[in-house]
Amino acid sequence: MEEGEKMDKDKYTRSVDRMWHNSERVRCCIICGLDDPSVLIETEMHHIDGRANSKYIIDLCKNCHTRITSEQNKFAPKDRSAKAPRNKQRGMQIINHSKLLKVLAEHDLELGREMINDE
* Residue-by-residue DSSP string for 94-112: HHHHHHHHHHHHHHHHHHH
pLDDT tops 70 at residue 41: no
Is residue 65 included in any domain, yes or no?
yes
- Higher pLDDT pick, 58 / 51: 58
**Residue 3, in any domain of the structure:** no
Query: Domain range holding 110?
Result: 9-117
**Helix then strand then coil, % of the chain, to nearest 5:** 45, 10, 45
Residue 98's contacts (CB-CB under 8 Å, 6 or more residues apart) are: none
**Which carries the bigger pLDDT value, residue 106 or residue 9?**
106
Residues 80-97 have a mean pLDDT of: 89
In this model, does residue 78 exceed pLDDT 70?
A: yes
Tell me the pLDDT band of 1, cut-offs 50, 70 and 90.
very low
CA distances from 105 to 26, 32, 116 (A): 23, 10, 16
Model confidence pLDDT, tens digit, residues 67-77: 888 888 899 98
SS3 25: strand
- Establish if 4 belongs to a structural domain: no
Distance from the first to the final alpha carbon of the chain:
50
Q: Is residue 60 in some structural domain?
A: yes
Burial class (CB in 10 A: 0-12, 13-18, 19+), 27: middle
Does residue 16 carry a pLDDT above 60?
A: no
Mean pLDDT taken over the chain: 77
Indicate whether 29 belongs to any domain. yes
In the prediction, which pLDDT does 2 show?
43
Domain presence at residue 23: yes
- What is the total count of domains within the chain? 1
Residue 25's beta-bridge partner residues? 20
In a domain, 1, yes or no: no
3-class DSSP assignment, residue 47? strand
pTM of the model: 0.65
2: in domain: no
